[in-house]
Structure 1
Amino acid sequence: MSQQQIERMTSAPERVGQGTAVEQSRAVAEVQAAIVVAQQCPRNISAAIAEMRQVCTQPFLAERAFYRFPRAGGAVTGPSVHLARALASCWGNVDYGLVEMRRDDSYGESEMKAYAWDVEKNTRTSSTFIVPHKRDQKGGPKALTDMRDIYENNANNGARRVREAIFAILPPWFVEEAKELCAQTLRDGGGKSLPQRVADAIRAFEGIGVTADRIEGKFGRPSGKWTEHDVAQLLISFRSIQQGEITAEDEFPVRVTIDEITGPQDGAVA
């Protein structure tokens, strides 16, 4: 990092406006109030566990509780920011958020901070990071200039840091039980029979251009032999494709047969 970049990141504004001063005072007052409320209304761990178990049985949360994205020829799956936010609400006395600390349009980047704070235990974690105003594409990164695109890019990158910050302050046993309950909810399918869930999954994927034979090729067996676990994984893949975390081509590649490769070329005599 050059000296000029360091100076840009560490320099303070020459003038603080009235609105900024008011916001700073309000932020300090909110922190003090949060501490007082947390001390007066400590969390009930038994109630927090009961609420977590109840919300994790809801299909709406379970279907959004996991993410999936490609890495090194495979795919990585884990608990999503949606699950993190739901668990923070259940646990109680937790403050979290994402702040754009500085935007530099000249250099095409934003300085962001993600944090999570257990107000009752005074356990806090935060991370500061730089988000380039670029979006990865197959042909290479594309620079973003539209304000809405920059905002969405910052929010998407920041959501991952917020997720990790929340999970860092929650008890691991609390998170692990929630993950297992959400996975079980996906496997149960909300009371629908397995054949119905299979048919619904095939119909949903056909709506985004993924045929049943591509899914069967990935699983290595026909749809009639799919298990509850298979359908649960399909729900995670479907949500991840919708959210742009993974592409349909990466998750369900089109398999080319030997006959298609060695068959007659255009203009050749069969």
Structure 2
Amino acid sequence: MGLENYEVLPVEAQDVQIIQVDAVERANVDSQVATAKQYPRSIKRCVDNSIAMATMDVDTAQSCGYALPRGGKPITGPSVHLAKIIVSNWGNMRTEAKVVQITDKQIISRGTCWDLEANVASAFEVRRSIVGKNGNKFSDDMITVTGNAANSIAYRNAVFAVVPKAVVEKVYKAAQKFITGDLSDEEKIIKRRKGAIDFLFDEYGIIEEEVIKLCGKQTINQIKANEIALLLGIVQSLKDGDTTVDELMKPIRESKESKKEAMKKAVEQND
């Protein structure tokens, strides 16, 4: 459309349009609330359907958890993928996540979740840096990637602040149990453990000794079912962009013990 055909509405007309939009949105919300009250959810059906979806295959089950480094040791929990599965089955909800601000140094995302049936709502903001180690601002593509990661975290936090923890934990534990598979004997544990360690090395360059430290263990034989689930959560966090290899490995690779080992290896190679 050319500028000659573009009509600028007077301020009064713009105000009327805003009021009309607000009225339409209120009407939509009122309709959704009324529908939620008319067709209340069945918690049992929601949980059963969520578990069925979360455990439909190994990849889906693995996507339901995350593991992130905090204070030199990874913490685990249900992921944004699990949040979306639960929301789709919980029903009678309005959810959203979007970038609300980009500054010179940060991107800010806000996630919101509103249970229309229970009339419980929550909103979370997440800030992520968009400045690299060299002090330069990220490229547009990397800012988009960072924004998407921030949206996922904000969405997850908002949803899990509204959906009862007992529901989330039940589905999450079912997914965790599914991904470890049958680890009833040592041979199966060794096979599953080797697969996880090999993947971390092939895809992210994390060596076996570092994997052992990530699990908070002293030897590889101490890595059992719980630690295997932790490693799979770390893999998912790396895939989703919740963390990076540098963030994950920094406490380990910069530790005094790690530096001593590096110096020892260097001396041995020179000899």
Range into which the TM-score falls when normalised by the shorter chain: 0.7 to 0.9
Q: Which amino acid aligns with 1:184?
A: K
Unaligned runs of 5+ in 2: 1-10
How far the C-alpha of 1:91 sits from its partner, in A, is: 1.6
Cα distance change on mapping 1:19 and 1:233 into 2, 3 Å:
farther
1:205–1:211 contact (8 Å) kept in structure 2: yes
1:68–1:240 contact (8 Å) kept in structure 2: yes
Q: Which residue of 1 aligns with 2:94?
A: 95
Q: Which residue of 2 aligns with 1:159?
A: 152
Cα deviation, 1:54-104, whole Å, max 9, x if unaligned, reads 233333332122222223333332222111121122222121102445x56
Aligned-partner SS, 2:151: helix
Q: Which residue of 2 aligns with 1:10?
A: none
Q: How does 1:1-270 map to 2 (within 5 A)?
A: 16=14, 24=22, 27-58=25-56, 59-101=58-100, 103=101, 112-127=109-124, 129=125, 131=127, 134-140=129-135, 142-144=136-138, 146=140, 148-188=141-181, 193-208=188-203, 209-216=205-212, 218=214, 219-222=217-220, 226-248=223-245, 251=248, 253=252, 255=258, 256-257=260-261, 260=264, 263=267
CA distance in structure 2 between the partners assigned to 1:121 and 1:247 by the alignment: 38
Cα deviation, 1:38-67, whole Å, max 9, x if unaligned, reads 123211122112213323333333212222
Cα deviation, 1:94-146, whole Å, max 9, x if unaligned, reads 21102445x567x676665421011112211224x4857x4254445x42462
Aligned-partner SS, 1:263: helix
CA distance in structure 2 between the partners assigned to 1:104 and 1:241 by the alignment: 23
- Could you state the TM-score of these two structures normalised by the residue count of structure 1? 0.72
Q: Which amino acid aligns with 1:73?
A: G
Cα distance change on mapping 1:100 and 1:54 into 2, 3 Å:
same
Instruction: Decide which moves more: 165-174 or 55-64.
Output: 55-64
1:94–1:117 contact (8 Å) kept in structure 2: yes
Aligned-partner SS, 1:239: helix
* Identity across the alignment (%): 21
CA distance in structure 1 between the partners assigned to 2:182 and 2:246 by the alignment: 26
2:109–2:154 contact (8 Å) kept in structure 1: no
Cα deviation, 1:196-254, whole Å, max 9, x if unaligned, reads 3223223312322223343245532236x632222211111122223333343554545
Cα distance change on mapping 1:250 and 1:32 into 2, 3 Å:
closer
Instruction: Decide which moves more: 229-238 or 180-189.
Output: 180-189
1:109–1:130 contact (8 Å) kept in structure 2: no
Aligned-partner SS, 1:126: strand
How far the C-alpha of 1:24 sits from its partner, in A, is: 5.0
- Could you state the TM-score of these two structures normalised by the residue count of structure 2? 0.72
Unaligned runs of 5+ in 1: 1-12
Q: Which residue of 1 aligns with 2:4?
A: none
Q: Which residue of 2 aligns with 1:3?
A: none
1:118–1:124 contact (8 Å) kept in structure 2: yes
* Structure with greater helix share of residues: 2
CA distance in structure 2 between the partners assigned to 1:249 and 1:99 by the alignment: 26
Cα distance change on mapping 1:193 and 1:15 into 2, 3 Å:
farther
Aligned-partner SS, 1:120: coil
